[in-house]
Amino acid sequence: MNTAHALANAARVAILPYFRSIGLSADNKLDAGFDPVTEADRAAERAMRDILAARRPDDGILGEEYGTQEGRSGLTWVLDPIDGTRGFLSGTPTWGVLIALSDTNGPQYGIIDQPYIGERFEGGFDRARMVGPHGTGVLKTRAPRALSEAILFTTFPEVGTPDDGAAFAQVSAKAQLTRYGMDCYAYALLAAGQIDLVIESCLNPYDICAPIAVIEAAGGIVTDWKGGPAHHGGRAIAAANAEIHTEALAILSRAP
């Protein structure tokens, strides 16, 4: 855990000088569409990889910006230096640094860090806590409630493919409140007991591994839309408890 916090601290130092800076620019990873990457993304991942090279040279690394580095220990650090680069470019404090330590069974420990607000959510190895401006608190997901009373989040209004979007819309129609555009911060809010569901699609492993560890440590559930493991990416549903997971999954599992 000390190494994970060192990674998060280094990422904060690398990223914050760029946030809301005048003239911040981004490169586009796509020929069609817009998938931005900034020098802050690259600098943060380099800083984290430097620490791992010194402290954990036998571990593997899977990072969004610099790809896969094979390891020998059976452990892999899954890194997303800025999850929510679109939000970062827009000046919204909803992006975050995602750090997970995984083995062949998936993530065992994770951190969701929001450097600008100064909030850090961690889960795994018998720990589920957040540290922020109001001090340190225990992470615990919300108690069961009907889907009709639930707060639901996703990042993109279209969710993914037309089939993905149609399935999400069916869940949203039954929920009390649906909100959009929070990136990884939505998962942090779920772990902190503020919301009930996060449903997304077209994810990469580095988008979801850290949230899985944090949410599960806080008492929640994260699966794919069929109820299986979600750490490889694709479609994911994060739920505060088994009851609301079952109700939402009954709808999502019918998606083509």
Q: Can you give the residue ranges of every domain in the chain?
A: 2-138, 147-252
Contact assessment for residue 1 and residue 109, using Cβ atoms and an 8 Å cutoff: yes
Contacts of 243 (CB under 8 A, 6+ apart): 144, 145
CATH topology of domain 147-252: D-Maltodextrin-Binding Protein; domain 2 (3.40.190)
Closest CA to 181 of 256, 114, 83, 76: 83
Degrees, nearest 5: CA angle 147-119-109? 75
CA distances to 95, 133, 156 from 117, rounded to whole Å, are 10, 8, 23
Q: How do residues 83-115 score in pLDDT, each as one tens digit?
A: 999 999 999 999 999 999 999 999 999 999 999
Q: How confident is the model at residue 25 (pLDDT cuts 50, 70, 90)?
A: confident
Please, what's the b/e burial string for 64-96 (b: 16 or more CB within 10 A of its CB; e: otherwise)? bbeeeeebeeebbbbbbbbbbbbbbbeebbbbb
Q: How confident is the model at residue 30 (pLDDT cuts 50, 70, 90)?
A: low
- 80 compared with 27, residue with greater pLDDT: 80
Q: How confident is the model at residue 1 (pLDDT cuts 50, 70, 90)?
A: confident
| Percent of the chain surpassing pLDDT 70 | 98
CA distance 11 to 241: 31
Q: Which residues are documented as binding site?
A: 64, 80, 82-83, 207
Q: Which residues are documented as binding site for Mg(2+)?
A: 64, 80, 82-83, 207
Q: How do residues 136-176 score in pLDDT, each as one tens digit?
A: 999 999 999 999 999 999 999 999 999 999 999 999 999 99
CATH topology of domain 2-138: Fructose-1,6-Bisphosphatase; Chain A, domain 1 (3.30.540)
Q: List the beta bridge partners of residue 28.
A: 36
Average pLDDT, the chain: 96
